[in-house]
Amino acid sequence: MSNLITLGRKALIARLETITQANGYRTDAGNNVRSGWFSERVAAADASFPMVVVQRAKDQAPRFAGHGMRKLHGYAVVAGVEAGLDDYEDALDDLELDLLQCLMPIEGVPCEWTPEGIPHVTLGISEPVPPGDGLKAATIVIPIYLHQFIESHRD
**Per-residue pLDDT reduced to its tens digit, 86-131:** 778 888 999 999 999 999 988 888 999 999 999 999 999 999 988 7
With 90 as the cut, is the pLDDT of residue 133 above it? no
Which pLDDT value is given to residue 85? 66
With 90 as the cut, is the pLDDT of residue 152 above it? no
Which pLDDT value is given to residue 155? 58
Going 143 to 13 to 120 to 103, the CA torsion angle's sign is positive
CA atoms within 13 A on the CB side of 60: 15
74 or 63, greater pLDDT: 74
Contact, 82 vs 49, CB < 8 A?
yes
4-151: CATH architecture: 2-Layer Sandwich (3.30)
Q: How far is the CA of 21 from the CAs of 24, 28, 65, 110, 112, in angstroms?
A: 5, 6, 43, 26, 21
